[in-house]
Structure 1
Amino acid sequence: MADASRRGRARSDGVALADAAGRIDGVDIARGLALIGMFIAHVAPAAAPGTAADLLAIADERPRLLFALTAGIALGLISGGIRPVPAAPGFAGGRDRARLRLQVAIRAVILIALGLLIIATLKPLVFVILDVYGVAFLVLIPLLFLPRWIALVVGIAGVAVAPGVALALSRMPWVAEARVAGWGLPVDWFIAGAYPVIEWVPVMLIGIALARFGITRRRVLAWMAAGGAVATVACLPAGVALLRVGSSLVAEGAAAGDSVRAFAVGESLQVVGNVGVGVLVVVAAVVLTARGVMGVEPVRRVASAVLSPIAAMGAMPLTIYTVHLVVLAASIRVENGFRTDDSWPLAIALVVGSMVFAWCWRRWVGRGPLEEFMRFASGRAGWPRRGSAA
């Protein structure tokens, strides 16, 4: 009776049962948009200061944070969504919770190995995120089943503090000394790299919390939209302004401590604002495509059809991201004495080609090839999904 009443309340609140049992197209669309943003950031040629440069800057920081946010949402969904796997023994109980943690750990190890292999063999001219993702998954394993409010509060607090801390720590002498001593890889993973885990884990915790609250619930979407808008408007301009102040202090020869403080606070504010942008993107994608959220079925059908190529990309992110690294490595050339892969035709080809490939593969084959391998290798293939009976 309790389960039935919960299902009844869920339907009346506009919840798609995919929260607990399957994919949510809006999350796949947000992840697909993050991939497109990464493609543009990786290979779009630099533009002169002005409107074009400002538009390109949109893809410079936000896609990676949107990627981390959707990764957290995915972890929340595969661990039960609004009805997380309980700790009690029995079916979908204690043994299954331990099994799920093991599956996440196996996936993390595979991601780390794949990322390091790509860096060592392909040597692309971009920062590779796969190994950092694997490390972040390992860190999240003991945090995977935190109560949703605790996960949300810890995630928000971490996003507000960790980016500035990582930036300040990365400028300390011991970081350079650690690299010389052979500890460069773990230092980059956790603190000083392009994608430090100290920054990514809080973002992913926010994603896990949103999955626990139910990201297709109308009330949750309303709160997400309000919170994302406040974070974007209040923090993003202030963060950009403080980063410019830090650059001015460096140019003027001010004390190093003053510039580092400006950079640290500015970086934290900018990341909070960019996470807010990511939340708004997820809200917009879910509102347009989740059944029962808008209440206008023709709008949902049209939006789902139009955005289906992007959703297909987002449903196989590991495959699309890995193939794009292979393409980038094969596209390296020398221009004016420098190795580069920048090219607008390449950027357009990556976006369009990924959409066409992903849409066709998803329609006629199913899961992405690397996603299917990851599912098989981690032992998740054939494991009943919670809520599938509903």
Structure 2
Amino acid sequence: MQRLAALDAARFLAFCGMVLVNFRIAAQVEPGHDWASVVIGSLEGRAAALFVVLAGIGVGLSTVTTSDLLRRAAFLFVLGLINMTVFDADILRFYALYFVVGAMFLTASTGVLWLGAAGVVTLAIGATMIFNYDLGWDWDTLTYTDLWTLPGFLRNLFFNGWHPVLPWAAFLLIGMAIGRSELHRLCIQHRLIMWGFGAAVFALFPQILATDPDLATYLGTEAIPPGPFYIVAGTGSACVVIGLLLKLWPKIEGLGIGPALTAPGRQSLTLYMAHILIGMGILDEAGLLDGSLSAPQVFTCALVFCVASSIFALLWSRKFKRGPLEALMRFVTQPRGA
């Protein structure tokens, strides 16, 4: 239970990072050199990667069946389609497809999971070499011009969207492999921290050594385009966060702040939808999504929303075992009589 609590806390931290990044995108704030821009920039592609790795760990730790996982994927896909009408950088429709990939490897060994992750990355590299990654994008406005056509939707989903299945599904498979470890053991936690830090640092060098600008971009650690070393860097940073939280969790609980982190972590689906429909909705109604906010102001708005989310989750958890959307997903996807 202690290790599960730490993973819930990690999920909430990932959610907070995604709120910061998504509020900046929605508010059309250009990256700058102030402290808030640096913080938000460092979380781009990292918070969402942590979220997906944690989903994989959850699958690896659970006794979920293939049919269970596919039903959850269908639920999330429909929810994601609804959500993308408001915010086209939504991750849920992609998340659903990661679960479909995970279902294919549900009974695989740990070694096969790592090979599967490498295979997904290899397919992504091949696709980038064959197809035009820029197709569909207006990079000046960060909009996808033909998202609502079938070819554009599928291209965005699998190849060059915000979180495409190739290569993002690798994060889920890696998480499933990590979930097979004895995460309660201190030596495993130390390995996650050390190997994760080493991977994150190692991923920085190929971009530095590349002489061709286009190749340097692809070999970088940015989420767009998601090259192989972005996967290495995203996995590394996720492992560091997870390892540190697992190791430090007894001390965090001793400070009395554990519930404020775990309660929202267990309601992350509800809160994720809320940050788009409610958080961005409030900013939109106030006329603040027109580029008028500064990065520090976006940071403040996101921080206020995350604190409010924690308070809501704490109050909700006193009455109910699951968050609203978590309960709905269980009701819809749970086989009758199970």
- TM-score bin (small chain): 0.7 to 0.9
Deviations 1:136-191 (A, max 9, x none): 11122111111012213432x35764665565556358778997973111111111
Alpha carbons 2:192, 2:242 under 8 Å: kept: no
Q: CA deviation at 1:203?
A: 0.9
Change (3 A) 1:195 1:284: same
Which residue of the partner structure matches residue 156 of structure 2?
A: 188
Change (3 A) 1:322 1:300: closer
Which among 208, 224, 234 is matched to residue 274 of structure 1?
A: 234
Deviations 1:328-369 (A, max 9, x none): 134225569669897344212211111101122123322111
Which residue of the partner structure matches residue 286 of structure 1?
A: 246
Which residue of the partner structure matches residue 87 of structure 1?
A: none
CA distance in 2, matches of 1:282, 1:61: 16
Which residue of the partner structure matches residue 5 of structure 2?
A: 25
Which residue of the partner structure matches residue 349 of structure 1?
A: 304
1:198 is aligned to 2:166: yes
Q: CA deviation at 1:285?
A: 1.1
Change (3 A) 1:163 1:36: farther
Alpha carbons 2:171, 2:231 under 8 Å: kept: no
Which residue of the partner structure matches residue 258 of structure 2?
A: 307
Q: Output the amino acid matched with 2:48.
A: R
Change (3 A) 1:241 1:53: farther
Q: Output the amino acid matched with 1:272.
A: V
Which residue of the partner structure matches residue 51 of structure 2?
A: 67
Deviations 1:41-73 (A, max 9, x none): 122455532544322212212101001100101
Q: Output the amino acid matched with 1:302.
A: G
Q: Output the amino acid matched with 2:113.
A: A
Which residue of the partner structure matches residue 36 of structure 1?
A: 16
Alpha carbons 1:166, 1:199 under 8 Å: kept: no
Between 324-333 and 176-185, the greater mean CA deviation after superposition: 176-185
Which residue of the partner structure matches residue 372 of structure 1?
A: 327
Deviations 1:66-87 (A, max 9, x none): 011001011112227xxxxxxx
Which residue of the partner structure matches residue 320 of structure 1?
A: 271
Alpha carbons 1:159, 1:268 under 8 Å: kept: no
Q: Output the amino acid matched with 2:15.
A: L
| RMSD (CA atoms) | 3.2
CA distance in 2, matches of 1:330, 1:169: 42
Q: Output the amino acid matched with 1:70.
A: L
CA distance in 1, matches of 2:337, 2:309: 28
Which residue of the partner structure matches residue 138 of structure 1?
A: 100
Count, aligned residues: 317
Alpha carbons 2:146, 2:153 under 8 Å: kept: no
Q: CA deviation at 1:28?
A: 0.8
Bigger-Rg structure (1/2): 1
Q: Provide structure 2 residue ranges, at least 5 long, that are not aligned to the other structure.
A: 138-144, 221-226
Which residue of the partner structure matches residue 362 of structure 1?
A: 317
CA distance in 1, matches of 2:293, 2:119: 36
CA distance in 2, matches of 1:52, 1:331: 18
CA distance in 1, matches of 2:311, 2:109: 40
Alpha carbons 1:108, 1:138 under 8 Å: kept: yes
Change (3 A) 1:200 1:174: closer
Which residue of the partner structure matches residue 140 of structure 2?
A: none
CA distance in 1, matches of 2:113, 2:61: 14
Change (3 A) 1:160 1:182: closer
1:229 is aligned to 2:197: yes
Alpha carbons 1:238, 1:270 under 8 Å: kept: no
Which among 39, 42, 49 is matched to residue 55 of structure 1?
A: 39
Q: Output the amino acid matched with 1:313.
A: P
Instruction: Give the TM-score taking structure 1 as reference length.
Output: 0.72
Q: Output the amino acid matched with 1:105.
A: L
Alpha carbons 1:77, 1:211 under 8 Å: kept: yes
Q: Output the amino acid matched with 1:260.
A: D
Change (3 A) 1:300 1:336: closer
Q: Output the amino acid matched with 2:326.
A: E
